[in-house]
Amino acid sequence: MRATAWTFLTLVWVGSWLGCGPATDPPKQQTAELTYYRDIKPIMDAKCANCHTQDNIGPMPLNNYEMAHKFRDFSKLQIEQNKMPPWKGNDQCNEYTNNIALTAEERQKLLRWIEIGSPQGDPKDTPPTQTKSSGLEKADLTLTLPVAYVPTKTPDDYRCFVVDWPQTSTTYITGYHVKAGNRKIAHHLIAYVVAPKEVPKLLDLDSKEEGPGYTCFGGPKVNAGWVGAWAPGGGAQLYPKGTGIKIEPGSKIVLQMHYNVLQSNPEPDQSKIEFQLADKVEKEGLLVPYSNILGGWNGKGMEIPAGQSDVKHEFKADIVSLLKARSAPKLESITIHSVTLHLHLLGKSAQLYVKRSNAKEDCVLDIPKWDFNWQYMYDLKTPITLKVGDELGIVCRWDNSPENQPIIDGKRAIPQNVYWGDGTRDEMCLGVVYLTYNTTP
């Protein structure tokens, strides 16, 4: 109520100041330096309304003047603190083609518009919307959760659903587009591929639990490769031209859903993922999980002691030499196109970097404030090539203090020693890298 009174007073005040007389209607202020319709709507439609519309994950719609005006003070806070739009990558580190953050100019315009009283302007001044193609070129295959699932755990339910891969010959995934079923509760989706020889283990896991799918947190609990990751606001993901991820017939796809029902009641969701496919590609792309591959972190290696508020683990290795020795003798270099990082709930920050053989360092991805809710691939504007002798490094930090424990069953957990694992209270320090091989003929 107080907010409404304030809004009214502000309008009267701004109105009389502009010489419009007492404002019974909101003043249009067509001559203001910035108006909603002319300057702000295009920005908010592009950078806010992909989440802030009715029946979407954003708590209120922000695609019309009334709401943009009503929530302007909240928006100001969120924009000033760089919390909205929720882009977690540090722009000083590298450039990404799918960056949803505000540009410096957009940010400045929004803040200035709020500062001058959020003038409305004339709808006729709205610039034509730039149609940005954000879908796949074609959706060749759609895989859907087997049933409409209602989350049973609050506030977070992590659930893996097993779906058949119907292709009968080797196929390459060249892009995907997640269509979240219930965008109020779907917080992320990670798609994994499980190779035919692992399928019996997967089916066993799936059949042991009641209801559709099974509970899973850090991954599907069997050997699986990443196919893609989606968080709200993310659009279609196309792998670089001429590349794709190889899927063998007889594989299964696991769709790992994270539902969060803090903002909404548990409601059914039946999300789906569309794939763009090719029979052949020029170069196979691999989504490679990267962590302490020399074995040090499995089991009890990656200790995060109870109560400590800043624990760091770091690992780096000459990844090209390792891949060469393992499976690709003709490997000369690798090219990294997209990356992401994966920690769990105690994560504070994470980085991926390259240390060149001449000791020069390149930042690949820096997430200064880790947020489990916002995980997606970061598509590098300029792909990075690594040769023999270059090292790929990963750094993760965690806060295991009493104040930073997750709420489990309505209670804040007590700190415990934490290790690598895929449970809610285990941790990971994982990079996922989409790369292609460059080999000698």
Residues binding ligand HEC (CB under 6 A): 44, 47-48, 50-52, 57-59, 62, 71, 74-75, 78-79, 84-86, 100, 102, 232-233
> Smallest gap, in angstroms, from Cβ of residue 131 to ligand HEC?
19
Judged by beta carbon, residue 51 or residue 384, the one nearer ligand HEC is 51
> Smallest gap, in angstroms, from Cβ of residue 68 to ligand HEC?
8
Query: Rounded to 10 degrees, what is the CA torsion of 354, 424, 153, 144?
Result: 40
Q: Which residues contact residue 272 at a Cβ distance below 8 angstroms, ignoring those fewer than 6 apart? A: 142, 143, 144, 145, 178, 179, 181
> Smallest gap, in angstroms, from Cβ of residue 239 to ligand HEC?
22
> Smallest gap, in angstroms, from Cβ of residue 350 to ligand HEC?
19
Residue nearest to ligand HEC (CB): 233
Judged by beta carbon, residue 254 or residue 367, the one nearer ligand HEC is 367
Side chain identity at 110, as an amino acid letter? L
Judged by beta carbon, residue 49 or residue 160, the one nearer ligand HEC is 49
Judged by beta carbon, residue 51 or residue 345, the one nearer ligand HEC is 51
Contact assessment for residue 35 and residue 119, using Cβ atoms and an 8 Å cutoff: yes
> Smallest gap, in angstroms, from Cβ of residue 80 to ligand HEC?
11
Judged by beta carbon, residue 41 or residue 348, the one nearer ligand HEC is 41
Contact assessment for residue 122 and residue 27, using Cβ atoms and an 8 Å cutoff: no
- Angstrom distances, CA of residue 420 to CA of 288, 296, 314, 348: 18, 10, 13, 16
Judged by beta carbon, residue 103 or residue 223, the one nearer ligand HEC is 103
C-alpha 31: how far from chain center: 40
> Smallest gap, in angstroms, from Cβ of residue 235 to ligand HEC?
10
Query: Rounded to 10 degrees, what is the CA torsion of 152, 188, 91, 240?
Result: 170
- Angstrom distances, CA of residue 300 to CA of 38, 418, 419, 420: 58, 9, 6, 7
Side chain identity at 316, as an amino acid letter? K
Contact assessment for residue 236 and residue 176, using Cβ atoms and an 8 Å cutoff: yes
Judged by beta carbon, residue 215 or residue 373, the one nearer ligand HEC is 373
Burial of residue 300 (CB within 10 Å: 0-12, 13-18, 19+) is exposed
As given in the structure block, the two tokens for residue 118 are 């959020």
> Smallest gap, in angstroms, from Cβ of residue 356 to ligand HEC?
34
Q: Which residues contact residue 71 at a Cβ distance below 8 angstroms, ignoring those fewer than 6 apart? A: 60, 62
Side chain identity at 293, as an amino acid letter? I
C-alpha 239: how far from chain center: 16
Q: How far apart are the first and last CA of the chain?
A: 72
Judged by beta carbon, residue 376 or residue 420, the one nearer ligand HEC is 376
> Smallest gap, in angstroms, from Cβ of residue 70 to ligand HEC?
10
Cα separation of 304 and 346, whole Å?
10
Judged by beta carbon, residue 232 or residue 285, the one nearer ligand HEC is 232
> Smallest gap, in angstroms, from Cβ of residue 7 to ligand HEC?
15
> Smallest gap, in angstroms, from Cβ of residue 374 to ligand HEC?
7
Judged by beta carbon, residue 185 or residue 255, the one nearer ligand HEC is 185
Contact assessment for residue 271 and residue 186, using Cβ atoms and an 8 Å cutoff: yes
